[in-house]
Amino acid sequence: MTDNQDYCLRATSKCQDIRAFVATSRNLADTAAKIHQTTPVATAALGRLLTAAAIMGLMTGNDENSLTISIKGDGVLGGVLAVSDGLGRVRGYVHYPQAEVPLKADGKLDVGSAIGAGQLSIAVDIGLKEPYVGKVDLVSGEIAEDLAHYFAVSEQTPSVICLGVLVDKDHSVKQAGGVFLQLLPGYLEDTLNNLEKHIADFPPLSRLLDEGKTPEDIMEILLAPFGYDITQKSPIEFYCNCDKQRVERALVSLGKDELSKILTEQGKAEIICHFCNTAYNFNADDLGEIIKNA
């Protein structure tokens, strides 16, 4: 793991009743922003969701698992989607990457208004016939609050979630990261009360990152009063698993009639990956071979 690589720390309190994840994700958020040419508010929304998905992918505990977070709102962004695996690799996109909204009164990006009212859904695929899917209504559109609401309603897990993306003047991502703090089954009421008091004055995550705080520093701020052990340090990254073979399979799923129509009317096909904007081109010979083997 290189010095400037994004990564996520996992820790558990000494009493085994709190678990915490702290990630730095500037590189993956900036990569996504460059790929999709997002406006600042779209960069913030996408960066937050990608960071959350990377952390939650690691939380599944299995390299082969897949997790999809989808937010659909009535705001100008339309929706945001992120897909991750158990290795901390994540990809995603925003429906309308060029959309903009006015800044808040305090000068901050208004992600909540850009997303609007709608629904958040999470699908976890652990290799069974059907993935587990949970859905909740959005409470703010700010993403962190919506995810905390999801855990409270769908999994009955009290959670504190912070997601921060600091966009620079040149629209690049200056800092990005995430914090997940959760109470584990069997926690004592005193633990809950002490945790609530402790995090009441927790500074904005983006400010801590901009001050140069590392995930190790932030973990110390969060869990020092409780004692803790860091149990895992995992790289996280923007990674798309598309390739030409996968795209060919997608074309095959259209059926011979539709493929023949494309061949007759256009003589070629270009498929662009939603996640990484890679273009895959198929000429007439390619289409003819796909039709023959469909």
Tell me: do 264 and 208 sit in the same domain: no
pLDDT tens digits, residue range 2-21? 568 999 999 999 989 999 99
- Quote the CA–CA distance of 26 and 262 in Å, as a whole number: 41
Q: Is 152 helix (H, G, I), strand (E, B) or coil?
A: helix
Residue 190 scores a pLDDT above 90: no
Residue 294: pLDDT band (50, 70, 90) is: confident
- Asked if 19 and 186 count as a contact pair (C-beta separation under 8 A), the reply is no
Tens digit of pLDDT for each residue in 106-139?
Answer: 999 999 999 999 999 999 987 777 888 999 999 9
pLDDT at 207 over 90: yes
Predicted pLDDT of residue 249:
87
The pLDDT tens digits for 150-176 are: 999 998 999 999 999 999 999 999 999
Q: Based on the fold, state whether residues 248 and 272 are members of the same structural domain.
A: yes
Among residues 199, 221, 238, which one ends one of the domains? Answer: 238
Share of the chain above pLDDT 90, in %: 73
What is the average pLDDT value for the chain, to the nearest integer? 93
Q: Answer whether residue 46 shows pLDDT above 80.
A: yes
CATH number of 283's domain: 3.90.1280.10
pLDDT confidence of residue 290: 87
CATH number of the domain at 99, please.
3.55.30.10
pLDDT over 70 percentage in the chain: 99
Indicate the number of domains in the chain: 2
2 belongs to a structural domain: no
Put the strands of the sheet holding 159-167 in their side by side order: 159-167, 173-183, 18-24, 7-13, 228-235
Largest CA distance in the chain: 71
Whether residue 258 is found in the same domain as residue 228: no
- What is the average per-residue pLDDT within 218-226? 95
> pLDDT value at position 129?
76
pLDDT at 84 over 70: yes
Query: 84 vs 55, 60, 114, 181, 189, CA distance in Å?
Result: 9, 10, 23, 19, 34
Q: Identify whether residues 29 and 137 lie together within a single domain.
A: yes
Q: Give the structural domain span for 119.
A: 7-238
Q: What is the dihedral of CA 246, 44, 67, 54, to 10 degrees?
A: 100
Q: Is the pLDDT of residue 235 over 90?
A: yes
